Structure 1
Amino acid sequence: MHKAVLKKIGICLSGFILITWMAFLPAPLWGAEPTELTDSEMADVYAHGFSTFTRDDVTGIMRADFHGMDLRTWTEVSSLKMGHYNNGTTTGWDNDWTNVSLGSSGADLFAKGLYVEMKFTNPNDPATRQLEYLRIGTNDLTGTISANFNSFSGTVDNGVTNMSRANLGAASISTTNGGFYLSLERNPTTGGYKFNWTNATITP
């Protein structure tokens, strides 16, 4: 991946996280004033962690998990395209979907929780450190994504079968409480933009 592409992804990711935070913050915080709680009020407070951040300097993995965040959608998109470049075999799109439906009128696409994960090579050496991949996903996705998959890159079986720019035609990808993530990977052989399910079915 080119540095320019990774920079754009970083900008988009920052915007995505900002918008997500704004969506779940209580409305107008700017008019609020701090109020000290009494001891009895403090005793009645039960806290639950909303997010966790981890960093492993050995593996080079940094991750942010946003807990307690339920996301539901039924969205229709006429065209979704990601990753146009020469992959060594052809010049084209990693993913070229048309007539896309995320969820349906009868059943939303439903994600419980959200995470952002990055992995770096040589994490402790600023001179040679590089972003290996960026992933945005959930550990619990239920629902169906339907489209004309003119080009599909990714996996539906936790990496057992990897597809690269495969023409699936008109199809639906469905999962129940399965893991899912969108990734941008630097690997020259298996890299690019990929949609990954841990346990999903493709029909027809």
Structure 2
Amino acid sequence: MIKNISYTIFFIFISIILSPFSYSLEKLSDSKMKNITGQKAFTRFSVINNTTRIFLNTHIETFTEIDSVKIGYYDRQNHGLGWDQDWTDLSFGTDTSQTLKIDGLIIKADFDDLNAANPNLKRLIIGSNHLNGTISGNFNSFTGAYKPEVAGEPPSTPVRRIRENISNKNFTFDSATENQGFFIILSPEGPKSGIHTLIGYGEDNVNNSFSPDEWWDSP
């Protein structure tokens, strides 16, 4: 069941951050053309061992309200059917003047053996290292971990939950001094299987807070 929803998660994530926008073709005048600038390395692709990483060097500002997001309905480790993630009344950003700002998008995929004819996907990570603004909502079922400071709670170790109701949360990101990111992590099988959410940590600081045998590290 989990194997069939990796693409769904990807499109949900992209839809969330791009949903307020619309696009159309427009002929540019000569004066507008003079003001266009370019940027190198919009996309960076790397392969290390059996992990591929795509970095999209883009800046997104969004204010989005979503009634409900549910991901990962299955029998988790023989404990019965349920949702890994069940969120309602979500808000990305506070209003149109206080948007959620996302700098850079990351897609990482771990495989068992990239040299094989048909490598198997072991884990998919989609998210960003660098957020500024607020994500709020009712987290009726939450699986993963969040940094307590971004939830307005006293500083401590990461708050880890497995399909628990953490009620209404207001996650406030401030990446001015350190990366505070947001990631959705899909592990189709194995002891770390499931759909986890990581809130408030970036690739550069996550390993300072999680032990080597947790789900963030490569399978």
Normalising by structure 2, what TM-score? 0.68
Once the two structures are superposed, the pairs formed by residues 152-191 of structure 1 within 5 Å of their partners are 152-157=142-147, 160-177=158-175, 178-191=180-193
Instruction: Output the amino acid matched with 1:74.
Output: F
CA distance in 1: counterparts of 2:103 and 2:52, whole angstroms: 20
SS of equivalent to 1:5 = helix
Q: Give the deviation of 1:3 after TM superposition.
A: 4.0
Residue 79 (structure 1) aligns with:
68
Residue 90 (structure 2) aligns with:
100
Structure 1 segments (4+ residues) deviating >6 Å: none
Query: What are the Cα deviations for residues 143-196 of structure 1, in whole angstroms up to 9, with x where unaligned?
Result: 221111110112113994432111111221222111221121124333222221
SS of equivalent to 1:4 = helix
SS of equivalent to 2:4 = helix
Number of equivalences: 177
Instruction: Describe the shift of the 1:107–1:148 C-alpha distance in structure 2 as closer, same or farther (beyond 3 A).
Output: same
Identify unmatched segments of 5+ residues in structure 2.
28-36, 149-156, 203-219
Larger radius of gyration: 1
Q: Indicate if the aligned counterparts of 2:129 and 2:181 stay in contact, CA closer than 8 A.
A: yes
Instruction: Describe the shift of the 1:107–1:149 C-alpha distance in structure 2 as closer, same or farther (beyond 3 A).
Output: same
The structure that is strand-richer by fraction is 1
CA distance in 1: counterparts of 2:125 and 2:170, whole angstroms: 22
CA distance in 1: counterparts of 2:125 and 2:91, whole angstroms: 22
CA distance in 2: counterparts of 1:116 and 1:28, whole angstroms: 31
SS of equivalent to 1:49 = coil
Query: What are the Cα deviations for residues 57-103 of structure 1, in whole angstroms up to 9, with x where unaligned?
Result: x2x11111111x11111111111111100002231000111111111
Structure 1 counterpart of 2:125, from 135, 144, 154: 135
Q: Indicate if the aligned counterparts of 1:143 and 1:175 stay in contact, CA closer than 8 A.
A: yes
Residue 194 (structure 2) aligns with:
192
CA distance in 2: counterparts of 1:3 and 1:151, whole angstroms: 20
SS of equivalent to 1:117 = strand
CA distance in 2: counterparts of 1:5 and 1:173, whole angstroms: 26
Does residue 112 in structure 1 map to residue 103 in structure 2? yes
Residue 52 (structure 1) aligns with:
44
CA distance in 2: counterparts of 1:138 and 1:94, whole angstroms: 20
Alpha-carbon RMSD across the aligned residues, in angstroms, is 3.4
Instruction: Output the amino acid matched with 2:188.
Output: R
